[in-house]
Amino acid sequence: MKEFKVQPIRNGTVIDHIDSGKALDVLKILNIDETVKSTVSVIMHVQSAKNEYKDIVKVEDKELNPKQLQKIALIAPHATINIIRDYEVVKKSAVKAPERVVGIVRCANPNCITNARTELDTYEPVEPEFIVESVNPLKLRCVYCDRELDDPEKHLI
């Protein structure tokens, strides 16, 4: 039996098994703010089948781009992405943290060359790049300055 605490969506994406408490970060990654046109449901702190707490985000009429998927993989490594067509789940996949993340988080080291601005206020022509050293807990190391990034979710670009 399907039980919905919120209105079902016809077409869109359900991001399920988000680590408890991270739903709001997911909204930020999806650029969802007060200008939103379609229905978005945010379900926080519900018990999963495994009796663990999780968050769920459901967005109508929207599919995610690869950068957004990478970001979600970083902050919610257990998330599943369910594509809904005509009220049914037509595709389900687990997010996968990449081995390297390029251009989605900034280095936290203010003295890192990737944070340097020239006299004309331009950055060096490189995207910040990190090696994913571990996913759980999430550990990223800057390819340039070699520092470990402590709270990657706070440094999303």
Q: Which residues bind ligand ADP (CB under 6 A)?
A: 8-9, 14, 16, 56, 58, 82, 84, 87, 89, 92
Instruction: State which residue, 22 or 58, has the beta carbon closest to ligand ADP.
Output: 58
Instruction: State which residue, 62 or 147, has the beta carbon closest to Zn ion.
Output: 147
C-beta of residue 153 within 8 angstroms of C-beta of residue 75: yes
Dig out the tokens for 64 from the structure.
Answer: 């995610």
The CB-of-17 to ligand ADP minimum distance in angstroms stands at: 8
Question: How far is CA 6 from each of CA 36, 51, 62, rounded to the nearest angstrom?
Answer: 18, 20, 17
Give the DSSP H or E segment for 142.
strand 139-142
Scan residues 35-64 and list those touching other proteins (CB under 8 A). Answer: none
Q: Are strands 40-47 and 148-149 parallel, antiparallel or unpaired?
A: unpaired
Please pick, from the candidates 144, 153, 155, 156, the single residue that binds other proteins as defined by CB under 8 A: 144
Could you say whether residue 125 binds other proteins (CB under 8 A)?
yes
Scan residues 110-149 and list those touching Zn ion (CB under 5 A). Answer: 112, 142, 144-145
Give the span between the Cα atoms of 40 and 56, in whole angstroms: 11
Please pick, from the candidates 83, 109, 132, 135, the single residue that binds other proteins as defined by CB under 8 A: 109
Give the span between the Cα atoms of 90 and 88, in whole angstroms: 6
The CB-of-56 to ligand ADP minimum distance in angstroms stands at: 5
Question: How far is CA 44 from each of CA 11, 102, 105, rounded to the nearest angstrom?
Answer: 21, 29, 25
Q: What is the CA radius of gyration of the chain?
A: 17
The CB-of-9 to ligand ADP minimum distance in angstroms stands at: 4
Binding-site ranges for Zn ion (CB under 5 A)? 107, 109, 112, 142, 144-145
Binding-site ranges for other proteins (CB under 8 A)? 107, 109, 111-114, 116, 118-120, 122-126, 142-148
